[in-house]
């Protein structure tokens, strides 16, 4: 069994936090070798035949990380036995990298409630406290509630000051709106498009601002069609993407 911890406090993992991204382990017996991906984030449990094995860890990231120890030698005698290895992982550079996405939970039906989810991920190597802003078409829909609650509600704008995110951690916001119906002062009917813009505010040290902002253009429907499909990335796909 292998456990990996992220040295977020730079104290050799004395107050370690589980490294919450998949860690890839390389296992070599001298006769056979292969890569194993942790199924429970950084924690790996795997059965092997009797023998002596070398275990190394790596992180699938653009950042560089140091594993301590660099590798571990494990000896499994014949019969049932359990060996545990702990790795302390530290980053060789401080990187700020927040990513935001927004997706609809269901179709937008005129006159009905509709829900959305905003997700924020910290792909950097230092803790960050995200501030999220959502612009929505207030003439066509009314904000009902969110979890967590908003920090500020302005005309057509919602703002959240979220809890700090550790490296490679993520969080989400659940939102509920009431859509206008055909008889409202600003009527909403099938075929119209609801335009949203979600943004996670970042500092000057942010390495990739292109994924700090995302737009969602959702087409309103008049009635529910269980077979309806929606593409959030555009109106067309390439021929080689068919069936994906």
In the CATH scheme, what is the homologous superfamily, with its name and number, of domain 98-221?
Answer: Immunoglobulins (2.60.40.10)
pLDDT of amino acid 234: 61
- Give domain limits for the chain: 2-91, 98-221
State whether residue 229 is helix, strand or coil.
coil
Kindly give the confidence (pLDDT) of every residue in the chain, 244 residues in length, as a single tens digit, with 9 standing for 90 and above.
677 888 888 888 887 666 656 688 888 988 878 888 765 555 667 777 888 889 998 887 767 888 999 999 988 876 667 778 888 888 888 889 999 999 999 999 999 999 999 999 998 888 899 999 999 999 999 999 999 999 999 999 999 999 999 888 899 999 999 999 988 999 998 899 999 999 999 888 898 899 999 999 999 998 655 555 555 556 666 655 555 5
- Cis peptide leading into residue 220 (ω within 30°): no
CATH fold of 2-91 reads Immunoglobulin-like (2.60.40)
Predicted TM-score (pTM) of the model is: 0.76
Distance (Å) of CA 133 to CA 65, 99, 157, 199, 207? 32, 13, 7, 5, 20
Fold match between 2-91 and 98-221? yes
Q: Note every long-range contact of 159-162, with CB atoms under 8 Å and residues 24 or more positions apart, other chains counting.
A: 159/131, 159/132, 159/133, 159/134, 160/131, 160/132, 161/129, 161/131, 162/120, 162/129, 162/130, 162/131, 162/132
């Amino acid at each position: 069994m292998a456990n990996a911890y992220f040295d977020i406090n730079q104290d050799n993992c004395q107050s370690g936090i589980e490294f919450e991204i998949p860690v890839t382990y390389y296992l070599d017996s001298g006769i056979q070798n292969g890569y194993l991906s942790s199924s429970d984030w950084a924690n790996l449990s795997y059965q092997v035949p009797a023998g002596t094995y070398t275990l190394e860890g790596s992180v699938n990231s653009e950042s560089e990380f140091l594993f301590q120890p660099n590798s571990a030698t494990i000896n499994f005698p014949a019969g049932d036995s359990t060996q545990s290895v702990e790795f302390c992982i530290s980053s060789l550079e401080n990187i700020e990298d927040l990513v935001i996405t927004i997706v609809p939970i269901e179709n937008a039906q005129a006159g009905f409630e509709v829900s959305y989810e905003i997700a924020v991920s910290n792909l950097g190597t230092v803790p960050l406290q995200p501030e999220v802003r959502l612009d929505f078409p207030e003439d066509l829909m009314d904000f009902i509630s969110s979890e967590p609650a908003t920090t500020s509600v302005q005309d057509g704008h919602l703002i959240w000051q979220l809890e700090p995110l550790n490296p490679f951690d993520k969080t989400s916001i659940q939102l509920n709106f009431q859509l206008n119906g055909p008889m409202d002062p600003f009527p909403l009917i099938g075929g119209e498009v609801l335009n949203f813009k979600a943004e996670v505010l970042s500092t000057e040290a942010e390495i990739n601002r292109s994924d700090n902002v995302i737009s969602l253009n959702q087409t309103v429907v008049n009635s529910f069609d269980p077979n309806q499909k929606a593409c959030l990335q555009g109106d067309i796909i390439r021929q080689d993407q068919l069936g994906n």
